[in-house]
A and B are shown apart, each in its own frame.
Chain A
Amino acid sequence: MTAAPDVLVRFRNVEKTYDGQVNVVDRLNLEIRRGEFLTLLGPSGSGKTTILLMLAGFEAVTAGDIALNDRSLANVPPFRRNMGIVFQNYALFPHRSVFQNVAFPLVQRRIARTVIREKVETALRMVDLAGLGDRRPHQLSGGQQQRVALARALVFEPEMVLMDEPLGALDRKLREQMQIEIKHLHDELGMTVAYVTHDQGEALTMSDRVAIMNDGLIQQVGSPHEVYEEPANAFVAGFVGENNGFEGVIENTDGAECAVRLASGDLVRARSDTPRARGEAAILSLRPERLSINPPEDMTANRFEARIVEVIYFGAHNRARLAMAGRDDIVARVPAGAASDTLLPGAPVTIGWSSEHCRVLAPA
């Protein structure tokens, strides 16, 4: 038996409404564990940033309660919450030097000057900005500004760090580099991070756990592997990674395996984690990389005749669009190599997938 996880923040039945009619955040029950990297992932307007703002104390909770270390935050003003925040546009103080920016939280805490100098220099070294303390923020590149913001949010050793789409303004290459750097910082320092993003790739790369939001509701909380491989519903399957969705009706079940009849009449064998009843409407989810073109002979569960509609070159892989079962938007991801070079638009092919990798989900 494992010990209960060490909970740092607990949202209990939290609701938030701005206009008194629609809840931007609804029935939120979520725990953030000490030392973990938790990502709130969702499309814009799903309420993820509002959750962060409530946690930081900038937005009042309409109903429910947020507790930090089992103490309610209801009457704790933002400046006493001891949370480092990294804002989307950095929010560096333009009239102060990099050093003064990073020293700001320490000055506010009336820490001795010599200690401040030492801590700020350590923090700047940590984010690879040693020697740039005298610059003004506008003299730095976007990536460097982001590092300053990071150093400023970490230097006072806060209870936790909140990041609101901190990499949104960076170009792709820099973004990917910063993702790795933030992840390494998290591994080294072991701080608790709540991270908001709409970029599923970012969420999968960096997080210990991902909470997927839609319309103010949490759809699923789990490790990146869980939310990708075992999506709880059609929304998660569609939002995290690429997905082929099929609508159908359960024909029969055999333990975890179900047979689903599609509208086109084809019968697909798939796996369900929850028991399904015959005649129940269901949505099938199949990842493009699990769909094989010209499958090996022993893959017998799902074999269909299809036609290639188009092939798009992506360098390391090709993306083939296929027509089958009365549709022409089935996507397969084919690794680069000899096999993929033979794919020609219009050619008839056999496609297939194992029932293990095709999941039955409840309609969203």
Chain B
Amino acid sequence: MTAPAGSNLEVKLRRAQRRRSFTSFLLVAPLLLFILVVFAGPILSLLYFSIDDPKLAEVMPRTAKIVTAWDGAELPGEDAYAAVVEEIRTGYANRTVAAAAMRLNYEISGFRSMVMRTGRKIRRITGPPYRDALIGLDERWGDITYWRAIKASAGPYTTRYLLAAVDLERRWDGSVAKAPPERTIYVEYLQRTFWISFWVLACCILIGYPMAYLIATSGRRTSRILLALVLLPFWTSLLVRTAAWVVLLQNKGIVNDFLLLAGIVDEPLTLIFNRTGVYIAMVHILLPFLVLPLYAVMRNVPPDQLRAAASLGARPVAAFLSVYLPQTLPGLGAGCILVFILSLGFYITPALIGGASDQMLSYLIAEFATRTGNWGMASAIAILLLLSVAALYPVYRGLVRGGTGFRFG
């Protein structure tokens, strides 16, 4: 008679577990909702913006339909010209054609003014054949590259922004190729962003590791003061801190005054509007993100670990490498990934302290989003940044998990 009793017990257990998991779901529900709204939502919309391409199809639906069906090998037929004439005519009258013209201009610069001029003169075209009439207004309508540009803009979705973000473009025949040199700036920005982030991280480790060690191993009073000094910058905004560095780093700023006074340099160093200034300010701003996780881990490494290593015959360097460092790797990994990811997205600091050649990807995003209103490009670069960060996640996992498994010597 134990079997039915057992299954009965199982049922009870399952019911109790279901009740409990339902309660816990209710508890996390607000958080889940919050994450969906403020995190998943924006990322999805970003994805959508980067491939969304409705402008031309909205204003010139017939044209879009015809050129989509067209193979692009030779000039399109009369029906395409007729559609363009009619839709530019209505679009010009409704003042909607500018949006489509703007989109076409992304493909070939000058296309916008060409469409607007065609619009101004469209009254002169009274009847077929539209092809000759249109070419008569502007002979570029007889150039196949312009038609291919229309085909590329026909939407409703496009990969041009995503490809452009990595310096590629799609040819009229569908093949992907390297973009012409005047447009290949994005990979350079990406490389520069990683390069700056790498050096900022390296400096942060060099300064932050000994600093965290000092805080973790000194007496209570000292460590509290040091920790407060590390945290102090957090109490002011990023913008204020950056602005403060602008003041400090100027040719007649405090840093240069001090260096001159101390006789370390003979003439003021150029510390601002160049890479050096960007490094100084970014390292200062990001240092706490490395020190805090490191400190948390180091505080939990018992002080007699190093003594034990020494008593067993390990020289100081060997003791550090084989006993101390491996035990702090999880904290170091967490700190590094924080610093690196945060620095990938830096905008204000390079914008205020750096020169033209010190701007990072975020600068391009801001440029596209606020100045030229090209949300497609802004979103595509944002996705590039997002993917760069996501690619680092496995590295982080490896560091944190492997932290207790690493072997040296």
Interface residues of A (CB under 8 A from B): 56-58, 77-85, 87, 89, 91-96, 104-105, 107-109, 152-153, 156, 162
Contacts and interface: CB of A to CB of B under 8 A. Distances in A.
Contacts of A78: 307, 310-311
Given A79-B314, A89-B302, A105-B313, A95 B307 contact: no
A95 B405 CA distance: 6
Of B308, B309, B314, B327, chain A has the most CB atoms within 10 Å of the CB of B308
Contacts of B308: 85, 87, 91-93
B311 A95 contact: no
Contact of B311 (A56, A89, A94, A96): A56
B323 interface: yes
Contact of B307 (A56, A104, A153): A56
Given A95-B406, A109-B313, A85 B307 contact: yes
Of B304, B327, B403, chain A has the most CB atoms within 10 Å of the CB of B304
Tell me the dominant secondary structure on chain B's binding face.
Answer: helix
A208 B264 CA distance: 65
B326 interface: yes
A108 B302 contact: no
Nearest to B308: A91
Interface string B271-309: 000000000000000000000000000000010110111
B356 interface: no
B191 interface: no
Interface in B365-409: 403-407, 409
Nearest to A93: B323
B68 to A, nearest CB: 61
A194 to B, nearest CB: 13
Nearest to B319: A79
Given A56-B307, A79-B311, A84-B312, 19 more contacts: A56-B311, A58-B307, A58-B310, A78-B311, A85-B307, A85-B308, A85-B311, A87-B307, A91-B304, A93-B323, A95-B327, A95-B403, A95-B404, A95-B406, A96-B407, A104-B309, A104-B314, A105-B312, A108-B312
A140 to B, nearest CB: 15
A19 B315 CA distance: 29
Contacts of A95: 326-327, 403-406
B318 interface: yes
Contacts, number: 70
B313 A108 contact: yes
A80 to B, nearest CB: 8
A146 B100 CA distance: 78
B218 to A, nearest CB: 15
Contacts of B406: 95
Given A89-B302, A93-B305, A95-B327, A83 B311 contact: yes
Nearest to A88: B304
A92 B327 CA distance: 12
B327 A84 contact: no
Contacts of A77: 310
A112 to B, nearest CB: 16
Given A85-B307, A91-B304, A107 B409 contact: yes
7 contacts: A57-B310, A79-B314, A93-B309, A93-B323, A95-B403, A95-B406, A108-B312
A88 to B, nearest CB: 8
Contact of B318 (A81, A82, A87, A108): A108
Contacts of B319: 79
Contacts of B314: 79, 104, 108
Interface in B322-352: 322-323, 326-327
Contacts of B304: 87, 89, 91
A89 B304 CA distance: 9
A79 to B, nearest CB: 5
Nearest to A58: B307
A87 B409 CA distance: 24
Contacts of A87: 304, 307-308
B330 to A, nearest CB: 10
Given A91-B302, A91-B305, A84 B404 contact: no
Contacts of B327: 93-95
Contacts of A57: 310
A277 B310 CA distance: 54
A319 to B, nearest CB: 39
Contacts of A80: 313
Contact of B313 (A56, A82, A89): A82
A84 B307 CA distance: 11
Would you list the 10 A-B pairs with minimal beta carbon distance, nearest first?
A91-B308, A105-B312, A108-B313, A78-B310, A85-B311, A91-B304, A95-B404, A79-B310, A95-B326, A108-B314
B307 A79 contact: no
B304 to A, nearest CB: 4
Contacts of B409: 107
A91 B313 contact: no
Of B307, B311, B326, B409, chain A has the most CB atoms within 10 Å of the CB of B311
Contacts of B310: 57-58, 77-79
A338 B229 CA distance: 73
A105 B312 CA distance: 5
Nearest to A92: B308
Of A58, A81, A109, A156, chain B has the most CB atoms within 10 Å of the CB of A58
Contacts of A58: 307, 310
Nearest to B311: A85
A104 B310 CA distance: 11
Nearest to A80: B313
